[in-house]
A and B are shown apart, each in its own frame.
Chain A
Amino acid sequence: MAERLDRPVLDVSSLPTVHFGTHSLTWWGIMGMMAIEGTVFVLMIASYFYLHSRSVEWPPHRNPPDLMWGTVNLALFLISAIPSEWYRRRARKGDLKAVQIGLVLVSLFGLAILGVRYLELLHLNTDWSIDAYGSAVWTLMGLHILHLVTDLVDTIVLTVLFFTSLVEGKRFMDAEENAAYWYFVVGFWIPIYLVIYWAPRWLHA
């Protein structure tokens, strides 16, 4: 429905309505969220090391967290990047089947990781109320769990949506952004894993 005006016009009617990456508004929103949450993580890690600098023994009077389950989760996270990247690229082409499969796979990975995360918590070898070390370890873990759980719920909802008749171009944009956010959760696990599991082993107060 073009209007006729007696002045020069800039006609934008042929511009795309489905576009990915930096072209999408919600992509920028997700990046903003990553910046915010990333800063929270960085400051929490800094707090961990600050408390360490004020201590004589680290961890105080106990063993560092057991390595096994944390490392299992690290492996699961890293492997989950494969289906995630696959469906992200297929989403840009509008490949419905691939996105459906990919989302289901990543959801399953997420559930497995959540289960292993529970085992990690049982093997941290500390309680949060004993001292500042315990509080710092549990809070760092807790922040990551918060992101893991919210991203998992997001992913599952999106997965369900992709099996309905509500699929449209915008949903493929959401799929790409969902993959990007999963990378954030995976990506931040690497330094947090190193801090919780390896920092006490490498630093002897």
Chain B
Amino acid sequence: MITTKVATETQLTEEELRKALQLERIWQEPRGFVGWFKAVHHTTIGMRYVVTAFIFFLLAGLLAGAMRLQLAFPEAHFLSNDKYNQFFTMHGSTMMFLFAVPMMFEALSVYLVPLMVGTRNIAFPRLNAYSYYLYVFGGIMFYVAFLCNTGADRGWFAYVPLSGPDYGVGKRADFWAQLITFTEVSALAVAVEIIVTVFRLRAPGMSLNRIPIFVWGQVIVAFMVIFALPGVVLSSTMLLLDRTCGTQFFNPSVGGDVLLYQHLFWWFGHPEVYLIFIPGTAVVSTIVTTFSRRHIFGYLVLVLSLVSTGFIAFGLWVHHMFATGIPQIAESYFTGASMMIAIPTGVQIFCWIATMATGKVVLRTPMWWAIGFFFVFVMGGLTGMFLASVPTDLQVHDTYFVVAHFHYVLIGGAVFPLFGAIFYWFPKVTGRMLSEPLGQLSFWLFFIGFNVTFFPMHLVGLRGMPRRVYTYEPGMGWTLLNQIESSGYILLFLSVSILLWNVYRSLRRGRIAGPNPWHAGTLEWATTSPPPHYNFLHLPTVNGREALWDAAPNQPVVVGLSEDSRQILTTRSLDAEPDGREELPSPSIWPFLAALATTAAFIGSIFTPWGITIGSVPVAITMIGWFWPKKQAADRRRAREIWQND
């Protein structure tokens, strides 16, 4: 029996109505122009992440269109070599740094995790706002540079010495390196928020073995972010220092080493792709559960697989460097690890298929995208075997074969689940359903278009076409394949356009969704669509892994939190027993101001080494303003304090 008893306007008692209005007053977001910059609620910030990341996705997609046009004809002159180099670098960097991680990890987790664990807001809400502003300012800086013909042009990983002071002329590589700084701080901040939210703010009863798989996936990604991002923090900092301050990290003639850059970058770079893929699996687990109408099969092994994927991902990085002449013993280890990671991934795939086989499959658009994920991602994972094995890697590395591989795993592993997520959660976020027929149309166009565009890349790579080439000679046997790939782009373009049209139309005229149109089991479906700013009228308690499916007939709700302040419940990490009460901060302009100051310091440091030292002063001032308490609030809290007894 599904218990989805939720507070909707028609069913509220008078007491509940009073409470709803009171909560709305306390938790509402400020209005007006200035108010927009003070927002701190996770659904507000989460939506901003979603929209911004999607805009970057579209920009990168347009860049890809121009690239495909240039490559449709041998020795074409649509894009000059310099422009092409900027385009492919901007495309890759945008997709990896401004779309994939911000969307799959930051956007999805910021919006959904606090709802799924049953609390009122994310931990550290002002830090959340700050992280969003930094992300969007970094992206704007990157594109303004591009529009001024100073776009990054050294590839999305910008190897030295090509990107270094001797060969990376101008400021292009500096803007690239600083983009990393913006997006890395943003991701690290969200990672800490997610870990704290998941470990300390869960609804009572949501012990570790009752955490939704989606949340498990995102918290594992958060841990990975913390340990992986420092690699690129260092590599991009060393690059900037070499370029602006005269350090010699990568200058072989005075003891520097070009491979140091690659090791530090790929220490981050390999886990990075799992930061993108694991949230995709988290979405697939959720969609497969809801649309197979049963608890997911193999919850424990799924969680263990996610954890082991997270660990093993840190042991693979050298497989990006097999062509550099690594000693054979090291190569053997990294080949073994690169193949081994297929085991937990395989476990997940088999568990999902088992869930569908033993459940009652419902085919709606989100499920189609999940099925598409299988077809595309599994192919990508299997072509990875050619890259894991050193001898075959030495033939296909840096060719279009690897371009095909990573598009299959990234688009299959992230974009397909993302589109599924959009169709699945759009009703929750907006209160309306997306059109099912238009959804089917976008899916099939995308699935076909994707394969037409990217499958031939395997072949053209095996036929010797290297990557990152702005053109190629006629008579190489590559022309026809390139033309097929370029025509596939048209289908992809159409598909995304139809998706956007679907969104636009459904916002106005979509069918009203209600709280739980899919009859799903997780907590975000236990409140109105869209959720109010206080998330839940009554904070829930939980009786099983699918909170709504497993709820007892009269599942208790939490009472006793202060109703005139932003007070939330903290629970114990393992068993989610109630532990304490904390007050979350209210809306504030300081995160925005601090982000402006930080942006000025970061951009300033591209132009002068004093940028950081001078720039740190406004940063310090804004952060002090942020931290400084308000007298009235402090007095109120002091009057009602209950200290823990030690």
Chain A residues within 8 Å of B, Cβ to Cβ: 1-5, 7-20, 22-25, 28-29, 32-33, 35-36, 39-40, 43-44, 47, 50-51, 54-55, 60, 92-94, 128-136, 138-139, 153, 157, 161, 165-171
Contacts and interface: CB of A to CB of B under 8 A. Distances in A.
Contacts of B559: 2-3, 5, 9-13
Interface of B: 15, 19, 123-124, 127, 188, 191-192, 195-196, 199-200, 204, 226-227, 229-231, 233-234, 237-238, 241-242, 245-249, 251, 254-257, 260, 263-264, 267, 538, 541, 554-561, 563, 567, 569-570, 573, 578-583, 620, 624, 627-629, 631, 634-635, 637-638, 640-646
Contacts of B263: 50
B257 A10 contact: no
A20 to B, nearest CB: 7
A25 B251 CA distance: 45
27 contacts: A8-B556, A8-B557, A10-B204, A10-B541, A14-B642, A15-B569, A15-B578, A16-B580, A17-B567, A17-B580, A17-B581, A18-B641, A18-B642, A18-B643, A18-B644, A22-B573, A23-B570, A25-B124, A43-B230, A43-B267, A93-B646, A129-B245, A135-B238, A135-B248, A157-B624, A169-B637, A170-B637
B255 A133 contact: yes
Given A7-B557, A10-B204, A10-B557, A16 B581 contact: yes
Contacts of A14: 560, 642
A169 B638 contact: yes
Nearest to A171: B629
A151 to B, nearest CB: 12
B22 to A, nearest CB: 9
B557 A9 contact: yes
Given A2-B560, A25-B196, A169-B637, A138 B257 contact: no
Given A17-B641, A28-B199, A129-B246, 5 more contacts: A5-B559, A12-B569, A17-B581, A18-B641, A135-B238
Given A10-B559, A29-B192, A36-B226, A139 B638 contact: no
Given A18-B643, A128-B247, A131-B255, A32 B558 contact: no
Given A23-B644, A47-B264, A133-B255, A28 B556 contact: no
Contacts of B246: 128-129
A7 B257 contact: no
Given A12-B558, A25-B570, A50-B260, A43 B231 contact: yes
A17 B558 contact: no
Contact of B230 (A7, A24, A39, A50): A39
Nearest to A149: B616
A23 to B, nearest CB: 6
Contacts, number: 210
A17 B563 CA distance: 15
B581 A15 contact: yes
A43 B260 CA distance: 11
Contacts of B256: 51, 131-132, 135
A131 B250 CA distance: 9
A136 B254 CA distance: 12
A135 B249 CA distance: 6
Contacts of A2: 559-560
Give me the 8 closest cross-chain CB pairs, A-B, nearest first: A13-B560, A135-B247, A129-B246, A32-B192, A131-B254, A132-B255, A19-B644, A8-B556
A153 B622 CA distance: 13
Given A51-B260, A132-B251, A166 B629 contact: yes
B254 A130 contact: yes
Most buried by A among B231, B560, B624, B640: B560
B34 to A, nearest CB: 25
A134 B188 contact: no
Given A12-B561, A50-B257, A135-B248, A25 B637 contact: no
Most buried by B among A8, A12, A92, A139: A12
A10 B558 contact: yes
Contact of B200 (A5, A25, A165, A167): A25
Nearest to A57: B255
A7 B551 CA distance: 13
Contacts of A19: 579-580, 643-644
Contacts of A9: 556-559
Most buried by B among A7, A94, A153, A171: A7
B246 to A, nearest CB: 4
B637 A54 contact: no
A15 B579 contact: yes
Contacts of B580: 15-17, 19, 23
Contacts of A35: 226-227
Contacts of A135: 238, 241-242, 247-249, 256
A191 B617 CA distance: 29
